[in-house]
């Protein structure tokens, strides 16, 4: 039984991440405007922290007890399976949701900051930021512009209803 615990222990960070993002119950509010699949490279960035925590647990097990090679193999297989799961960003007239994770309203955000690895929806007062993982291709700039427009529209009291998303950058 103890051996089984040490074999499965490295999977705990990955399973917690998966439960939080992919299978959390969420209620999506508003009209769906866009559902964008998260690319493989971006999903790898999302899973990097739980995977690193699993590797650290395996290293700690190797130092404390004689770690089994099966735990390394199991962690790699779980990592590949989780990378294979399709996850989408769902944009609505009211907010955003990644996978089946927590739904956040546009009014919770003060703006969008672009980074090389993605973007961050900056949290407003008493609200945390929301990382957006992007793959780094040319469509990412258009997606970030769409996020800016949706946040701007939410503060104006208008929405890009009917799937109509502005393409200009005149008000941002």
* pLDDT for 29 beyond 50: yes
As a whole number, mean pLDDT of residues 37-55 equals: 83
pTM summary value: 0.71
* pLDDT for 21 beyond 70: no
Scored b (16 or more CB within 10 A) or e, 113-146 reads ebeeebbbbbeeeeeeebebbbbeeeebeebbbb
* pLDDT for 86 beyond 60: yes
**By the 8 A CB rule, do 147 and 121 touch?**
yes
- The residue whose two tokens read 């991440």 is 17
Domain regions of the chain by residue span: 2-163
β-pairing, 130-133 vs 118-123, is antiparallel
As a whole number, mean pLDDT of residues 25-37 equals: 82
């Amino acid at each position: 039984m103890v051996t089984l615990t040490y074999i499965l222990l490295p999977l705990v960070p990955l399973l917690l991440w998966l439960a939080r993002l992919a299978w959390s119950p969420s209620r999506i509010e508003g009209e769906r405007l866009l559902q964008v699949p998260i690319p493989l490279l971006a999903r790898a960035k999302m899973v990097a922290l739980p995977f690193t925590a699993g590797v650290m647990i395996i290293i700690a097990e190797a130092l404390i007890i004689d770690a089994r090679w099966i735990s390394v193999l199991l962690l790699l297989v779980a990592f590949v399976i989780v990378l294979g799961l399709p996850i989408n960003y769902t944009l609505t007239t009211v907010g955003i949701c990644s996978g089946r994770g927590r739904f956040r309203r546009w009014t919770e955000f003060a703006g969008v900051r672009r980074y090389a690895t993605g973007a961050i929806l900056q949290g407003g007062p008493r609200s945390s930021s929301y990382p957006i993982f992007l793959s780094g291709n040319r469509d990412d700039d258009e997606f970030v512009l769409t996020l800016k427009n949706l946040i701007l529209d939410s503060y104006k009291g208008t929405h890009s209803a009917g799937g109509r998303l502005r393409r200009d950058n005149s008000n941002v």
